[in-house]
């Protein structure tokens, strides 16, 4: 541990949030300073703030192939997800109250859908494959004449599984052209870039803080003509779709971050893929009774995303030890970290509950280097070995664990 003193820490939790890029901070600063006025006011200073929001809206729209008027700025990805589900359902009462979503969505979608069900909506939650991906045909089969919304995430935040949203949207629309298709692209937007027409979606969620922008800025793309009722009422901002005085610095930072992401995408993705491949190949070789979760084919996996389960050790205990050794990582989504329940994503994939408690997630980003990967590969095996040595439980994995473990033998450790 002492050898670590003074060493830079390794941040391997980019799916939780990203550092704000200095160029983004630079772009935001004037709007904390001399351009602080309320963009809805009439005087010239306020109009400068209004202009900045208009330009940001154009930039966010251009980044995803949308029109400026199709972008609703919100405070977060969670708010955008809530607005998509609640707003479409509220506006579609004449046509039906049925919603379809999947068992691996972020809680911003899943909990909202479940609340809507308690409030009288009908809900179908479709399952996923063992790698966390959603079968488009299964989603389409759940669509009924009264289905008003289908919500399927683009990339899973815990296991990096990428969904074929274009196929899902096409099949859903073929079955019911009136069903709106929403995708949560919070995790994918920075790495993959998203184009709403290529994806064929009617609504799409973004958030700035996962793409080197600030917290406090999100957006919901709403295709022109999609029924949507506001869920926050008041001053009528965002063309009456979301009230609240605009967070000008955060919106400007969001647009700046998206522009930067587009410029850097090819280099960032190549870099993250290389580090990701090293971890996915090496972790099972170095840590006995470890299994990589999510797609093994990197083409089906979010760049930079590495997730695993480790048998007979609590993920949380490993994270604390990694933290002491200078590595910041997570056991699933940041929101479920700290909860005693195993991840709903792993459970939906079929991972046995006890094994799911040993889940780890490492998400790499721009700031990482091979040195961060080396450090994790050096630190993790002895941490796991130490914890297993302390544990009184038997370490023969039960048969239910075996399909999930890449390294099913303790002999590796010897
Ligand atoms: C897939 C997904 N959707 C939604 C959210 C929520 O976004 P925000 O933190 O901006 O509310 C997250 C954040 O972890 C996420 O990973």
Q: In angstroms, what is the span from residue 187 Cα to ligand 1's centroid?
A: 8
For residue 2, indicate whether it is catalytic: no
For the whole model, what pTM was predicted? 0.95
- Asked whether the predicted pLDDT for residue 220 surpasses 80, the reply is yes
- The domain defined by 22-261 folds into 3.40.640
Residue nearest to atom 13 of ligand 1 (CA): 16
Q: In angstroms, what is the span from residue 170 Cα to ligand 1's centroid?
A: 25
Mean predicted confidence (pLDDT) in 60-75: 98
Residue nearest to atom 14 of ligand 1 (CA): 16
Angstrom CA distances, 59 to 23, 96, 252, stand at 16, 35, 10
- Asked whether the predicted pLDDT for residue 412 surpasses 60, the reply is no
**Burial of 338 from C-beta contacts in 10 A (0-12 / 13-18 / 19+):** exposed
pLDDT at 341: 81
Angstrom CA distances, 394 to 381, 387, 390, stand at 19, 13, 11
- Asked whether the predicted pLDDT for residue 411 surpasses 90, the reply is no
Best residue among 78, 183, 188, 304 to mutate for probing ligand 1, ranked by most atoms within 8 Å of CB:
78
- The domain defined by 9-18+266-409 folds into 3.90.1150
Mean predicted confidence (pLDDT) in 226-253: 97
Token reading at 236: 């009528």
- 16 CA closest ligand 1 atom index: 14
**Fold matches, 9-18+266-409 and 22-261:** no
- 76 CA closest ligand 1 atom index: 10
- Asked whether the predicted pLDDT for residue 178 surpasses 90, the reply is yes
pLDDT at 339: 58
Q: Could you say which of 48, 125, 335, 385 is catalytic? A: 335
User: What residues does 310 pair with on adjacent strands?
Assistant: 290
pLDDT at 6: 58
Could you give the percent of the chain with pLDDT greater than 90? 90
Q: What's the mean pLDDT when you consider all of the chain? A: 94
Alpha-carbon 64 to chain mean position: 17
Best residue among 80, 105, 191, 210 to mutate for probing ligand 1, ranked by most atoms within 8 Å of CB:
210
Which DSSP state fits 10? E
Domain chopping of the chain, boundaries: 9-18+266-409, 22-261
- 75 CA closest ligand 1 atom index: 10
- Asked whether the predicted pLDDT for residue 336 surpasses 90, the reply is no
pLDDT at 395: 66
Best residue among 18, 103, 187 to mutate for probing ligand 1, ranked by most atoms within 8 Å of CB:
187
pLDDT at 391: 72
User: What residues does 183 pair with on adjacent strands?
Assistant: 204
Q: In angstroms, what is the span from residue 182 Cα to ligand 1's centroid?
A: 15
Nearest CA to 180 among 191, 172, 171, 188?
172
Q: In angstroms, what is the span from residue 212 Cα to ligand 1's centroid?
A: 14
Please write the tens of the pLDDT for every residue from 290-333.
Answer: 999 999 999 999 999 999 999 999 999 999 999 999 999 998 75
Mean predicted confidence (pLDDT) in 134-151: 98
Please write the tens of the pLDDT for every residue from 255-293.
Answer: 999 999 999 999 999 999 999 999 999 999 999 999 999
Q: In angstroms, what is the span from residue 37 Cα to ligand 1's centroid?
A: 29
Mean predicted confidence (pLDDT) in 229-251: 97
Find the residues whose C-beta lies inside 6 A of ligand 1. Answer: 76-78, 81, 106, 108, 153, 157, 184, 186-187, 207, 209, 218, 333-334
Please write the tens of the pLDDT for every residue from 371-382.
Answer: 999 999 999 999
- 334 CA closest ligand 1 atom index: 14
Q: In angstroms, what is the span from residue 47 Cα to ligand 1's centroid?
A: 32
Please write the tens of the pLDDT for every residue from 202-212.
Answer: 999 999 999 99
Q: In angstroms, what is the span from residue 186 Cα to ligand 1's centroid?
A: 6
- 153 CA closest ligand 1 atom index: 1
Strand pairing category for 180-184 and 203-207: parallel
């Amino acid at each position: 541990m002492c050898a670590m003193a003074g060493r830079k820490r390794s941040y391997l939790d980019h799916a939780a949030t990203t550092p704000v890029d200095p160029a983004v901070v630079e772009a935001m600063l004037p709007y904390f300073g001399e351009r602080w006025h309320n963009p809805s006011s009439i005087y010239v200073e306020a109009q400068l703030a209004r202009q900045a929001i208009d330009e940001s809206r154009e930039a966010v729209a251009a980044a995803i192939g949308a029109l400026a008027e199709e972008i609703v700025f919100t405070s977060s990805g969670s708010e955008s997800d809530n607005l998509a589900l609640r707003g479409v359902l509220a506006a579609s009462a004449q046509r039906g109250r049925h919603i379809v979503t999947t068992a691996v969505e972020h809680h911003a979608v899943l909990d909202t859908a479940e609340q809507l069900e308690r409030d009288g909506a009908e809900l179908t939650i479709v399952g996923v494959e063992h790698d966390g991906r959603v079968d488009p045909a299964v989603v389409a089969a759940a669509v009924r004449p009264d289905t008003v919304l289908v919500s399927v995430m683009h990339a899973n935040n815990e296991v990096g599984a990428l969904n074929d949203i274009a196929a899902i949207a096409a099949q859903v629309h073929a079955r019911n052209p009136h069903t709106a298709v929403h995708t949560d692209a919070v995790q994918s937007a920075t790495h993959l870039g998203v184009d709403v027409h290529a994806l064929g979606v009617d609504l799409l969620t973004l958030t700035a803080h996962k793409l080197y922008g600030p917290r406090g800025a999100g957006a919901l793309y709403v295709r022109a003509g999609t029924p949507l009722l506001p869920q926050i009422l008041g001053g009528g901002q965002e063309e009456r779709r979301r009230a609240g005085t605009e967070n000008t610095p955060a919106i400007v930072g969001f647009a700046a971050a998206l522009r930067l992401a587009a410029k850097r995408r090819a280099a960032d993705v190549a870099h993250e893929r290389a580090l990701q491949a090293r971890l996915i190949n090496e972790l099972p070789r170095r840590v006995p009774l470890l299994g990589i979760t999510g797609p093994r084919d990197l083409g089906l996996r979010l760049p930079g995303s590495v997730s695993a389960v480790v048998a007979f050790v609590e993920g949380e205990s490993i994270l604390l030890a990694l933290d002491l050794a200078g590595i910041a990582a997570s056991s699933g989504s940041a929101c479920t970290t700290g909860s005693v329940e195993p991840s709903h994503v792993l459970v939906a994939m079929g991972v046995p509950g006890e094994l799911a408690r040993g889940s780890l997630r490492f998400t790499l980003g721009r700031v990482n280097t091979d040195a961060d990967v080396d450090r994790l590969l050096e630190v993790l095996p002895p941490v796991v070995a130490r914890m297993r040595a302390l544990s009184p439980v038997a370490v023969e994995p039960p048969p239910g664990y075996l399909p999930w473990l890449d390294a099913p033998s303790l002999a590796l450790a010897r």
